[in-house]
Amino acid sequence: MRTLYPPIAPYAEQRLAVDDLHTLQLQQCGNPDGIAVVFLHGGPGGGVVPEHRRFFDPQRWRVVLFDQRGCGRSTPLGEVHNNTTAHLVADIEAIRTQLGIARWAVFGGSWGSTLALAYAQAHPDRVTGLVLRGIFLGRPEELHWSHEADGGARMVFPEGWARYQAHIPPAERGHMIEAYWRRLDSDDAQVRQAAADAWNEWEDGSSTLVHDSAPPPPEDDAQAALAVARIEAHYFRHGCFLQPDQLLRDIGRIGHLPGTIVQGRYDMLCPAKAACELSQAWPEAKLEMVLAGHSAFDPAITDALVRATDALAATLQA
């Protein structure tokens, strides 16, 4: 099985102000003269970590990574104003223009797959190909599956669900995302942080194939943990700022592009149904279903993603 490429440091880092409120943190690694690719991290609310640079052959790829609005080292951390899918799509274009890149490949997993599809469908003439993982189409059924009391994930991870649910009084459990948002948006810092810890514990404990029923340790960085939970809840309560079935409806705009879909068969946060529906709508893309959960660092998913970026590089260089 393929593993990640060796650790690599960025050769360039910069900040880009995209409006009067938000400034993004950008980095580039690999070969400055290589094939351009933009890496879109998950969440929404996550951020770039050093391991994300390692899915790409550094001799062949010019890798652009950035922390989305409110995420990671972008500022202000955790900010939800002027923070929608349309804003993020516009940011990706602003980065491409700023860096003088004519066209680039797009790599995204989980929420990153959502954003990758939204961007590629909005700007198909700027995209050379896509590598997607852990497909999330931002639909109500997917949000209910993972975060609401009528979803299926609670039946697979009952211990974790019990802890997630216990944070919300019984009277509010019919709308868990909204109940969490009220606490994540509270004026009380302790209320916000406690809700963030409970939210993140549920997601972190549900992301891997090998599952421990014990709660995962809390995040070391409390502010970053709050930003993840707050931005996720903000997006989820607004249906990810997408029109109904938008990403499947508009798939014809990218049908001509090479694509690979990597999906963990036992992904409990982004179930395989969405990946299969995307594959059916986009038969030109290759679907690789692997024995794994949600995490990009499950060995089978890492193997498939590294092979996919290598294959796309070979295609684009041919």
Catalytic residues: 110, 267, 294
**Torsion sign across C-alpha atoms 96, 102, 108, 112:** positive
φ, ψ at 128 (rounded to 5°): -100, -20
Q: What percent of the chain is helix, strand and coil (3-state, nearest 5)? A: 45, 15, 40
Q: How many helices (H) does the chain have, and how many strands (E)?
A: 11, 8
Question: CA-to-CA distance for 313 and 86, rounded, in angstroms?
Answer: 28
DSSP secondary structure letters along 123-171: -GGGEEEEEEES-----HHHHHHHHSTTSSHHHHSHHHHHHHHHTS-GG
3-state secondary structure of 278: helix
